[in-house]
Structure 1
Amino acid sequence: MRGAYGGRGSGKTRSFAKMSAVRAYMWDQAGREGMILCGREFLNSLEDSSLEEIKAAIRSEEWLLPHFDIGEKYVRTRSGRVKYTFAGLDQNINSIKSKSRILLGWVDEAEPVSEEAWVKLIPTLREDDSELWVTWNPESETSATHKRFRLSNDPRYKVVEINWRDNPRFPAKLERDRVRDKEERPEQYDHVWDGGFKTAVEGAYYAQALTVAKEMGRVTSVSMDPLMTLRAYWDIGGTGAKADATSIWVCQFIGREIRVLDYYEAQGQPLSAHLAWLRRRGYDDALCILPHDGGSGEKVYDTTYEGAIGAAGFDVRTIPNQGTGAASMRIEAGRRLFPRIVFDETKTAAGRTALGWYHEKRDEKRGIGLGPNHDWASHGADAFGLMCIDYEEPRSTDMPQIETDWVV
């Protein structure tokens, strides 16, 4: 298996198209017969396929062109021994299983390919020397393509990262686009151009602030100060498969800096599982700070979250209901405080992904905002906002007064 992943402008598709043509030429010269299967997850017509890239790749090499018969809807070697075929894995996967003598299977734009499709496709490559090639732009760490190929320990898998800077023929037009995106859309730049995972959507509240934090070195290794209060800010979920997730941010307030040490999220687990995580991580003495529903008895049988956490030996405090506009207040507090927040790079990765995705729900027909979208990212974002609201609230007893000469 050979694979390449990365961002825009790397030349992955054109390079693999050309390599496939070279292989077709070699097999043809050796008298081999068979097909090169070019697949994509979604392919409704040849216009959606790699056909035009393959034609362009062959035509770009004068020595290669005479060995191919290129038609409007086909490509094959002059002898007809090696032919290209194109298929959509979402619809034609079962018909692909019946195809014989597939010498090479190349899946382009492979990020959305499902595990089911991979399970069905790979056994169709039956020849002793059949190969699988995969090219894709990463989006999610949970994708089947990422898990199967980038996380594999199979020594036969050769997977490399390729980005725009690796392309010696990177076009001037794309360079202008790249520079413009870096200046005007920094929250999307890493995903689009440097092959990073997609961590932000249009309208995301904290995406740009996260990008700046990373550039300024505020996403790094963060140590706990044993002399300062350890705080755990919760967004309360519930038990059961359909329950909202419970999220916890662990932090310390050090002078005017907020050090975010850790992040936790779990769905459908009982309270004991969340408390066990705090203890395993060494946060036994953390002050647990809950949203207003921590005082409600509807989510833990016969008691409140506040009471149950206190009975488990943790100090606990509940933030009063902030009333109408509470979500907007949390977002604005988060935006104000972001420049003084430092995140642990490893332990808060999942939480930062949630913050980068947390966005406004919109009515596209009327072009108006409908407030924060309640999805998988909102639980971590709500707990983060609670931390920021609580930081800005005046307190006299639980936050040490530190003399500083800092000016913000």
Structure 2
Amino acid sequence: MDQANVIDTGFRPRPLQREVNDQLKRFSVLICHRRFGKTVNAVNLLNDGAMRCSLPAPRFAYIAPLRKQAKAVAWDYAKQYAAPVPGVEFNEGDLRIDYPNGGRVSLYGGNDPDSLRGIYLDGVVFDEVAQMPHRVWTEVIRPALSDRKGWALFIGTPQGKNALYEVWDHAKRDPDWCAIMLRASETGIIDPKELAAVKREMDPDEYEQEFECSFTAAIKGAYFGQLMADAHRDGRITNVPYDPIIPVHTAWDLGMSDSTAIWFVQAKPGGSFAVVDYYEASGEGLDHYVKVLDDKPYKYGTHIAPHDIRVRELGTGKSRLEVARSLGIRFDIAPNIPIQDGINGIRSILPRCWFDETRCAVGIDSLTHYRRAFNEQMGAFSPRPVHDWTSHAVDAFRYFAVGFKERRTGNNTQTKCVEE
């Protein structure tokens, strides 16, 4: 742009905002702590796009969960930084800014996706994506960007695993996307003394969610939410390669009419665990799972099963323990102890576990979301866990936690599974 045509809008991006903007791709997800300035930065990206876009009649949009949220959060900022542009016009009723080149920035609410159908866009910002239905993006906005190859930026703070998590997870795996997470403990934007004061005054889960960008800490009643959040922060949910020198131990939850879950774990020298794989399926016989093990490249150690594997089935008169043995797998039996003791067992080993984030994705989600039910009327949690999609993976991991024992000899750690 010719220097004579440069317009000073008054926006002065922080160094970290400028650094973030330099990294953005066509599709980007920015997860950042409260008070980072993500909305101000995003509004200026939209205004700049509307002024610079070379296509005819450029269209840009800011989408919040509700239209009134868009107005309360972003409208004043949008007007403030657009006001210095000669010839700009503001439409208060439509929450729209029209630029002299034909460019336009409009503010919308994502609570009514169908109202957004039929528009075209050159750029869009989704703010607080966690509070929106995912289909706003997949069914409505993504097609609106296609013919003009527009860009999209998702910004927000985690609120459990929902639409924001879905796009974040996708962005991490897709090289054409950009995924950036900025925690308050890392950016230095908030004074350390102020941050410490906030941490003392807030509920720990709320603090982890709002300032440390945890997708898991805010899950009400989660047994392992904080431990899994710690694993994420410590970098223990990452790429975990299989070490062919060390045996892989498996731990199973054997379903009859529902799912069977299997964890694949290597016990490392020094007492840590490399959780290299996870598998789950339903409606299959033991022969299917034996083939799954055979098809993997692992050298196996101990196979751990729940105590009810000894129960004989009415149809055959044989136990699944006997059937497994006939198929070449000899199981050790995890002790039959109360569920709460098993949950405590998981808590005791999770700080020593490293999870492969790709192969163990379903199992990681299960450990993160395994929870007690909360009775809103009584204001209390149930004493027992909810039985849902998370149960099979957690039960299998529980059998590993209580069934796998370590023996220390000198400076070396040996492992074995103790049968009940």
CA distance in 2, matches of 1:238, 1:147: 32
Distance 1:71 1:233, change over 3 A: same
Question: Residue deviations 1:49-87, cap 9 Å, x none?
Answer: 256414224315763487342636633237695554444
Secondary structure (helix, strand or coil) at the match of 1:308 reads helix
Task: Say whether the 8 Å CA contact 1:287–1:314 is kept in structure 2.
Answer: no
- Corresponding residue number in structure 1 for 2:5: none
Partner of 1:14: 40
Aligned-residue offset at 1:21: 2.0
Instruction: Name the residue aligned to 1:201.
Output: 219
Give the equivalent residue in structure 2 for 1:402. Answer: 409
Cα distance between partner residues in 2 of 1:132 and 1:196: 26
- Amino acid across the alignment from 2:303: C
SS of structure 1 residue aligned to 2:32: coil
- Counterpart mapping for 1:294-313 below 5 A: 294-297=309-312, 303-313=318-328
Shift in Å, 1:354: 2.5
SS of the residue corresponding to residue 332 of structure 1 reads helix
Offset of 1:186 from its aligned partner?
A: 7.4
Which stretches in structure 2 are left out of the alignment for 5+ residues? 1-25, 414-420
Counterpart residue identity of residue 254, structure 2: I
Preserved contact between residue 251 and residue 261 of structure 1 (Cα < 8 Å)? yes
User: Any conservation in 2 of the 1:299–1:305 contact (CA below 8 Å)?
Assistant: no
Does 1:250 pair with 2:264? Answer: yes
TM-score (normalised: structure 1): 0.72
Cα gap change, 1:178 to 1:70, in 2 (>3 Å): farther
C-alpha distance in 2 between matches for 1:126 and 1:402? 63
Change in CA separation of 1:62 and 1:73 when aligned onto 2, cut-off 3 Å? closer
Tell me the equivalent position of 1:58.
79
- 1:58-137 matches, within 5 Å, as 58-60=79-81, 63-64=84-85, 67-69=88-90, 71=92, 74-77=95-98, 81-89=102-110, 91-93=112-114, 95-99=115-119, 102-110=121-129, 112-115=132-135, 117-125=137-145, 128=148, 131-137=150-156
1:176 Cα offset (Å): 1.8
Give the residue type in structure 1 aligned to 2:40: R
Distance, in Å, in 1 between the alignment partners of 2:146 and 2:230 is 49
**Equivalents in 2 of 1:4, 1:351: separation in Å?**
24
* Partner of residue 180 from structure 1, selected from 196, 199, 217: 199
Question: Which residues of 2 match residues 7-406 of structure 1 at below 5 A?
Answer: 7-9=32-34, 10-26=36-52, 33=57, 35-40=59-64, 42-43=65-66, 46-49=67-70, 52-60=73-81, 63-64=84-85, 67-69=88-90, 71=92, 74-77=95-98, 81-89=102-110, 91-93=112-114, 95-99=115-119, 102-110=121-129, 112-115=132-135, 117-125=137-145, 128=148, 131-137=150-156, 140=161, 145-146=167-168, 151-152=173-174, 154=176, 159-161=178-180, 163=182, 170-172=189-191, 176=195, 180=199, 185=204, 189=208, 192-193=210-211, 197-198=215-216, 201-212=219-230, 221=240, 231-238=249-256, 243=258, 245-251=259-265, 257=271, 259-270=273-284, 271-283=286-298, 285-297=300-312, 303-319=318-334, 321-322=336-337, 326-338=338-350, 341-346=352-357, 348=360, 350-370=362-382, 371-391=384-404, 402-403=409-410
Contact (CA 8 Å) 2:29, 2:171: kept in 1 or not?
no
TM-score under structure 2 length normalisation? 0.70
- Distance in 1 separating the partners of 2:245 and 2:186: 49
Residue deviations 1:348-387 (CA, integer Å, cap 9, x gap) = 5543432232222222221222121222222222222222
Number of residue pairs the alignment of both structures matches: 379
Query: Secondary structure at 2:112's aligned position in 1?
Result: helix
Partner Cα distance (2:175, 2:249) in 1: 39
Maintained 8 Å contact 2:304/2:331: yes
Instruction: Mark the runs of 5 or more structure 1 residues left unpaired by the alignment.
Output: 393-398
SS of the equivalent of 2:343 reads helix
